[in-house]
Chain A
Amino acid sequence: MTSNKFLMGNEAIALSAIASGVQFATGYPGTPSTEVMETLIKNAKKYGYYVEWATNEKVALETAIGASFSGTDTIVTMKQVGLNVASDPLMSLTYLGVKGALVLLVTDDPGPHSSQTEQDTRSFGLFSNVPVIDPSDSKEAYKMTKYAFELSKKYETPVILRTTTRVSHRCDDVLVDDLNKIPFKTSGFSKDSRWAIFPRLTAERHPVLEALQNTLSEEFSNSNFNFIQGTGKIGIITSGASYHYVVESISNNKHDFSILKIGTPYPFPEKKVFEFINSVDCILIVEELDPYLEDQTLKLIGKLGINKPVYGKYNKYFPCCGEYNVKLVLDGINKVLESLNYEKIKFSNVIDTQNVNVPLPVRPPTLCAGCMHRTVFYGFKKVSKEFEKKGIQTIFSGDIGCYTLGNAPPIELIDTCICMGAGISVASGISKTSKNSKNVAFIGDSTFFHSGIPAVISAVYNKSDITIAVLDNRTTAMTGHQPHPGTGKTAGFEDTKLIEIEGILKSCGLDFVKSVSTENLDECINVSRESIEYNGPSAVVFRGNCVSLVKSKLKCRVDTEKCTGCKICFEELGCPAIVMDRDIPNITSNCIACGLCVAVCPFNAIINEGNCYEL
């Protein structure tokens, strides 16, 4: 039995995994992938499969590999930059293959909306010889997740299920199977030399792997996930979210066009594409991110000696960066139509856009009112000014998380940010090479467990004179408050061993390890100063609560008699709860009485005033 549900792409993937009989799910949170695991976690008890959050994506994939080697059907989820972390096991796994199904969900982020890169996981499939399935909406995400499990089992290969933000965070009607409790069945691990990679085994397996790519290309050429629509002589090859932009762009001029929608970009379904190319006069290629389909099509055309024009990113008909939309796709199609002497397509409904004709202040994301990170950053900023007076430069290396927002005005403290875990190592590199500098690395609690620890050990081992500031708010805040090893809770919020960050730092050989509560600004400043002055590697764990998890009924208030209108609280803290009401600051209802403004006011004009919180 089936029923119609209105689902986000990520929810559709999770429900399809359950319908496919998934028995083991793991991953590391990252936008826009997180809701797949969250939906799986929510339903784990009901349907009887196992879930966990891993400490990072490499660990997640390796754990999933172990489960698959035991004959268990698994899914592992991450965002695109997470696949960079997990690339090491993936590159080896591809030679060995899997036993139970292993579906690797990876989400790309054209734009990017909330990522460091605009990388394209389809290209990663090509690089690693791992088949890639690329749905365009929630309906397809549901069907294709099932197919990914079937494919992985049939060919004993890992399969990448790749989405983009507009697929993962798009809601559609989806026909969903009635889900049943999954009986736990696994063959268990049986000893076999095929699970241990060695140069000889790699050499043996490589030809098998290459042959599999041809088999898969054949299978994909016959797959309904690669289909042709229409009979027009202008051909469009497209995939993912772009498919819907294409369909909408040409909806009033369908007769001129035919579309080849690619659902399985790697291995490239060459026969299907050849059949399509033969039926059209020219080829447009519409895809976000890498010119992946374009490269594959150009290669095919070259190989077969076909002489037909191809319009894509390389000849600048479509942009090579950023996210697409209907208007942008239509502009590209119209450019082609113009060069073919066809009439251009009008964009229906569009009239000149409205405009208020005034400059509008931007609204960037900011640290929440009462966020513990603000207190830590403010303290370090004070201390850095003291060092500046002595002619010493203080350099702050940041990391990935809410605290990356410490680079925004008025705090503007973060000087570098690369990727998860990089802050500590970058600080070490700068400390060895920039004379007369003091180096501080900020790292969040979840990021510390993710990839901070090897960098700590390297800094101690190499005697780097850096200060490691761990910002511990006891949750993975940015991605929606997932638990991690420092919270004492598992993915399903069951009790587990709480791993103390201070203990890890000490056992890594750090002699200077201190913990401070962010409720006390003076102590934060004193310990920050002391840790920077310390000669050699030092670490401070700053501990506070994530304000979006703690409901406070408290609020601060400005004593208008005492306030001189100096604006220090307003200008230096950048707290969203402090607004200027003519010349006097006013504290708004989003205040949670963290007390930072009380502490910085030179005139004691801000009062922490008990229970007066408005609803």
Chain B
Amino acid sequence: MNIVIAAVGGQGAVLTSKILGTLAQNIGKDVKVSEVHGMSQRGGSVIAYVRFGDNVYSPVVEKGTADILLAFEMLEGARYIEYLKENGTLIVNTQRINPMPVITGEMMYPDDLDDKFKNLSINYIPVDALSIAKSAGTIKAVNVALIGVLAKNSSIEKDEWIKAIKDTVPEKFLELNLNAFEMGYRLK
């Protein structure tokens, strides 16, 4: 299983990769997680990889091989869409966050991404994760709301997902995050 997490710096991609890594470890898989942080934390484009299976060597997902692309923002979903294999699943937060070239008016934010995604040979799941996170109590829980949607679309038991979140998220943010997970999971 190859998962790519695409996000804007500060949206919690690293924590998400840790939750997914812990999940895979808890269910007895060989798992590798790789992320790059530093400069990109300041609102830049961020990518993290989670790979698990019977034997996994490289921690990096190659282009055209991802089973799942978990995108925290539309433009970042489009940027890393080439990682997805044919008939792979794109779970994307429909939120738009303008990057600097859009803010300064140098470029337009592409407004037809939704149509573009619909026309690809992929399993496209758009989610308003920002609204879910807000009603769960914090906009910071966009990541865990999306994990809820991912859990619903996976064959791994729900309890394992909850355990992985409990194992990874600090105690004081746990309740908010479990709320966000539950709301993402129950989304129709």
Contact = CB atoms under 8 A, between A and B. Distances in A.
Given A166-B60, A245-B58, A357-B116, A171 B9 contact: no
B86 interface: yes
B39 A113 contact: yes
B18 A326 contact: no
Nearest to A115: B38
Q: Is the interface of A mostly helix, strand, loop or mixed?
A: loop
A547 to B, nearest CB: 11
A503 interface: no
Contacts of A365: 9, 39-44
Interface string B119-132: 01110000000000
Tell me which of B75, B88, B104 has the highest count of chain A C-beta atoms within 10 A of its own C-beta.
B104
B63 A408 contact: no
B14 to A, nearest CB: 9
Nearest to B105: A571
Contacts of B105: 567, 570-571, 580
Nearest to A615: B138
Contacts of B57: 244-245, 247-248, 251
A113 B34 CA distance: 13
A358 B21 CA distance: 33
A409 B100 contact: yes
Interface stretch (A121-129, A202-210, A273-281, A346-354): A346-354
Interface in A270-327: 325-327
Contacts of B62: 325-327, 347, 350
A171 B33 contact: yes
Interface residues of A, number: 62
A326 B2 CA distance: 14
A574 interface: yes
A356 B120 CA distance: 8
Interface in A100-118: 111, 113-114
A529 interface: no
Nearest to B43: A366
Contacts of A571: 104-105
Nearest to A323: B60
Interface in B18-40: 18, 21-22, 25, 30-40
B76 A363 contact: yes
Interface in A167-221: 169-173
Interface in A566-615: 567, 570-571, 574-576, 578-580, 589, 614-615
Contacts of A367: 42
B33 A405 contact: no
Interface in A338-397: 347, 349-368
A171 B21 contact: yes
Contacts of B17: 171
B98 A408 contact: no
Interface string B41-78: 11111000000000101111011110000000001101
Contact of A364 (B21, B44, B59, B75): B44
Interface residues of B, number: 67
B36 to A, nearest CB: 5
Contacts, number: 188
A356 B39 contact: no
A172 B39 contact: no
B3 interface: no
A27 interface: no
B64 A349 contact: yes
Contacts of B65: 349-350
Nearest to B18: A171
Tell me which of B58, B75, B134 has the highest count of chain A C-beta atoms within 10 A of its own C-beta.
B58
Contact of B59 (A111, A244, A368): A244
Contacts of A165: 36
Given A31-B37, A170-B34, A579-B98, A363 B64 contact: no
A356 B44 contact: no
Contacts of B101: 361-362, 409
A349 B85 contact: yes
Interface string A393-435: 0000000001001001110000000000000000000000000
B25 A402 contact: no
Nearest to B134: A615
B60 A589 contact: no
Nearest to B60: A325
B110 A354 contact: no
Interface string B1-22: 0000000110000000110011
A165 B36 CA distance: 7
A37 to B, nearest CB: 15
Nearest to A251: B57
B91 interface: no
Contacts of B138: 615
B21 A6 contact: yes
B103 interface: yes
B99 A362 contact: yes
Given A367-B42, A571-B105, A579-B98, A360 B110 contact: yes
Contacts of B75: 360-361, 363
Interface in A9-62: 31-32
Contacts of B109: 361
Interface in A470-511: 478-479
A319 to B, nearest CB: 16
Contacts of B25: 6, 173
12 contacts: A6-B21, A111-B36, A137-B59, A170-B59, A350-B85, A351-B85, A353-B84, A354-B120, A361-B108, A363-B75, A364-B100, A405-B42
User: Would you list the 9 A-B pairs with minimal beta carbon distance, nearest first?
Assistant: A114-B38, A365-B44, A31-B38, A363-B99, A171-B33, A365-B42, A353-B82, A361-B107, A363-B45
Given A360-B79, A363-B100, A571-B105, 20 more contacts: A32-B38, A114-B36, A170-B32, A173-B31, A325-B62, A349-B64, A350-B64, A350-B65, A353-B63, A353-B64, A354-B120, A357-B116, A358-B110, A358-B116, A359-B110, A363-B44, A364-B45, A364-B99, A365-B9, A614-B139
